[in-house]
Amino acid sequence: MYINGRWTPAHNGATFPTVEPSTGSTITEVPRGNAVDIDAAVRAAERAAVSWQFTDAVARAAMLRRLAELVTENADELASIEAMDSGHYLAKARELVAALPLWLEYWAGAADKIGGRTIAVPGNKLSFTLLEPLGVTAHIIPWNYPLLILIRSVAPALALGNTCVVKPAEDTSLSALKFAELVHEAGLPDGVFNVVTGYGEEAGAALAAHPGVRGITFTGSTETGREVARLGGQHIAQVNLELGGKSPLVVFPDAALDDAVEVAVQGFCSRAGQVCVAGSRLFLHEEIADRFLEMLVARLEMAEVGDPFDENTQMGPLASKKHYDRVREYIEIGKQEARLLYGGGRPSQTARGGFFVEPTVFVDVPKDARIAREEIFGPVTAVMRWSSVDDLIATINDSEYGLFAVLWCQDITNALDTAKRLQVGAVMINDWFGELPMAPHGGHKQSGVGREEGLEAVHGYTQVKHIGINLDRSLAKSTDWAGAPL
Ligand code: NDP
């Protein structure tokens, strides 16, 4: 682990294995940190926060830019680690790692441009706000995009003067540890960035509950997010939650079908469906539904599922055995609730110990089926037909989730009218989700609170201080507050 600028085992020497999901074999042992190690990391981050918050924003930005360069220089190794440890196929992992410096550069650029505002109070006074860092921020990371999700939250936190303690997911600790090596090389002071590996119920819960933590950013399941918010609430930490989804992908009768089919496949097969914005509910207008499904099946027959290190692979395994079992269980539930059109099994050409699942399409899915309402987080989609826009919107909004939606529609008035009425945090029209540092990302309802990315993320890593000055130099002259009802 990386605490206070030093490499350290867990205080009691405990470790746990991290497993390669494409083979099921152990890669290495990782320290099993617990509350004692978390306490050491938070205390180091508290000490470092005193000077980091007053370090010139320009100097903080320079370190983030150096870090961005180091990510680029180490891109091959970082991509291989993600492919081996999380099952992300190598070609995609390389694309993703190549994009990561954008997040560090965006927030390096923002560091000296974010500020408060002046306020037009009555009287001869000056009134303004300062945006100040929170102090120690906790970052609890999931296993689907380990490095992206780490960088997208620590980049604004650090740029805005906070210090960080990161708890990676137990299945995917390795890229966070490699990133810590780069942080060290970039010259960030000791204690500004710390990584404690371990289990969620031990290290993660201890981090969320630590009274020294002033802000928590969590990405993962709604259930765990609720627990993290409860733990953070006990010491009134500011909490950002980016949680689950059951995102709709809607195809209108006038849609460009070739593109819509491609995006539908991306929607539920990208990262083997382990994406918060996965388009796991596919709503097809009845006029084009039959043709669309024929095209979808033809496209899926060409999908290459297999070894993440094979250059032809387009979809790798699920990230862990536990998650594989969960997705397989949902497929069995789906067989009871709807008609299996495609997939449902294990791709024959994949390694025996690996956690592979075929792209799976269920049709004739009732809108109250579990596979139509619950987040599966695997390469599984539930197809429903629609004819009335009002019914469509009512069905989509009748969900505890509200993260994201895709509309495939040429008529821009129809598209915008629908977008306006959906209870979700983002809508893409004739496009697929491309996560970017400058566009806000987050959910409505049980999909979360707060925003990652975009200038909206500033609120998650700062607090407001109001400063007022009486410019009259004499209280006697200042009459405007005298009549205030106190
Ligand atoms: P979790 O939400 O439980 O895990 C996310 C992170 O939280 C991990 O670092 C985990 O650690 C940590 N954690 C777990 N329990 C606690 C706790 N009590 N206190 C603090 N931190 C904790 O997700 P799972 O890995 O269990 O996946 C379950 C489901 O969550 C998936 O099937 C999917 O539906 C959803 N999910 C959604 C994601 C998204 O992007 N929105 C990402 C990942 C999952 P550890 O790994 O050690 O358990």
Tell me the per-residue pLDDT of 285-311, one tens digit each, with 9 for 90 and over: 999 999 999 999 999 999 999 899 998
Q: Is 411 in the pocket of ligand 1 (CB under 6 A)?
A: no
Beta strands in 192-237 (DSSP E): 193-195, 213-219
Q: Is 316 in the pocket of ligand 1 (CB under 6 A)?
A: no
* Whether residues 138 and 97 fall in one domain: yes
Residue 198 CA to ligand 1 centre (angstroms): 13
435 found inside a domain: no
Range of the domain at 407: 248-429
Q: Is 211 exposed, middle or buried (0-12, 13-18, 19+ CB in 10 A)?
A: exposed
Per-residue pLDDT, 440: 96
Q: Residue 482 above 60 pLDDT?
A: no
* Whether residues 232 and 282 fall in one domain: no
* Whether residues 278 and 364 fall in one domain: yes
**pLDDT single digits (tens) 398-446:** 999 999 999 999 999 999 999 999 999 999 999 998 899 999 999 999 9
Per-residue pLDDT, 483: 56
Q: Is 227 in the pocket of ligand 1 (CB under 6 A)?
A: yes
**pLDDT single digits (tens) 343-361:** 999 887 777 789 999 999 9
* Whether residues 316 and 220 fall in one domain: no
Catalytic, 181? Answer no
Q: Which residues are CB-contacts of 169 (< 8 A; sequence separation ≥ 6)?
A: 141, 142, 143, 146, 200, 220
Please name every residue paired with 440 in a beta bridge, in sequence order, or none if there are none: none
Which residue's alpha carbon is nearest to atom 14 within ligand 1?
200
* Whether residues 112 and 259 fall in one domain: no
Out of 145, 221, 357, give the residue to mutate to test ligand 1, the one with the largest number of ligand atoms within 8 Å of its CB. Answer: 221
Task: Output the CA–CA distances (angstroms, integers) from residue 407 to 150, 221, 281, 400, 401, in the order listed.
Answer: 29, 25, 12, 20, 17
Q: Which of 149, 168, 24 is nearest to 87 (CA)?
A: 24
* Whether residues 314 and 235 fall in one domain: no
296 found inside a domain: yes
Mean pLDDT of the chain: 96
Q: Is 243 in the pocket of ligand 1 (CB under 6 A)?
A: yes
* Whether residues 13 and 83 fall in one domain: yes
Average pLDDT over residues 228-241: 98
Q: Is 142 in the pocket of ligand 1 (CB under 6 A)?
A: yes
Q: Which atom of ligand 1 is nearest to the CA of 244?
A: 41
449-456 long-range contacts (CB < 8 A, ≥24 apart) are 449/239, 449/240, 449/241, 450/217, 450/239, 450/240, 450/241, 450/242, 451/240, 451/425, 452/152, 452/153, 452/217, 452/219, 452/240, 452/242, 453/103, 453/152, 455/110, 455/114
Q: Which atom of ligand 1 is nearest to the CA of 171?
A: 46
Q: Which atom of ligand 1 is nearest to the CA of 168?
A: 9
Residue 170 CA to ligand 1 centre (angstroms): 9
Q: Is 35 in the pocket of ligand 1 (CB under 6 A)?
A: no
φ, ψ at 195 (rounded to 5°): -125, 125
Q: Tokens standing for 418?
A: 């629908």
3-state secondary structure of 71: helix
Q: Do the beta carbons of residue 1 and residue 8 sit within 8 Å?
A: yes
Per-residue pLDDT, 347: 83
442 found inside a domain: no
Q: Is 443 in the pocket of ligand 1 (CB under 6 A)?
A: no
Highest mean pLDDT among 166-180, 305-319, 350-364: 166-180
Per-residue pLDDT, 479: 58
* Whether residues 196 and 272 fall in one domain: no
* Whether residues 212 and 66 fall in one domain: yes
Which residue's alpha carbon is nearest to atom 3 within ligand 1?
224
CATH code at position 300 = 3.40.309.10
19 found inside a domain: yes
DSSP 163: E
CATH code at position 37 = 3.40.605.10
Number of domains in the chain: 2
Element containing residue 335 per DSSP (H, E): helix 321-337
**pLDDT single digits (tens) 206-223:** 999 999 999 999 999 999
* Whether residues 322 and 288 fall in one domain: yes
Per-residue pLDDT, 210: 98
412 found inside a domain: yes
3-state secondary structure of 159: helix
Q: Which atom of ligand 1 is nearest to the CA of 224?
A: 2
Q: Which atom of ligand 1 is nearest to the CA of 140?
A: 9
Q: Is 144 in the pocket of ligand 1 (CB under 6 A)?
A: yes
φ, ψ at 48 (rounded to 5°): -70, -30
Out of 224, 280, 401, give the residue to mutate to test ligand 1, the one with the largest number of ligand atoms within 8 Å of its CB. Answer: 224
Catalytic hit among 242, 337, 375, 452 = 242
Q: Residue 481 above 80 pLDDT?
A: no
Q: Is 201 in the pocket of ligand 1 (CB under 6 A)?
A: yes
* Whether residues 282 and 330 fall in one domain: yes
Terminal alpha carbon distance of the chain? 54
Per-residue pLDDT, 183: 98
393 found inside a domain: yes
H helix runs in 53-100, sequence order: 57-73, 75-86, 90-99
φ, ψ at 82 (rounded to 5°): -60, -40
Q: Do the beta carbons of residue 378 and residue 288 sit within 8 Å?
A: no
Lowest mean pLDDT, pick from 58-72, 220-234, 462-476 = 462-476
Chain center to CA of 69? 23
Nearest-angstrom CA–CA distance, 211 and 200: 18
Helices (H) and strands (E) in the chain, counts: 16, 22
Q: Residue 194 above 90 pLDDT?
A: yes
Per-residue pLDDT, 352: 73
Residue 303 CA to ligand 1 centre (angstroms): 28
56 found inside a domain: yes
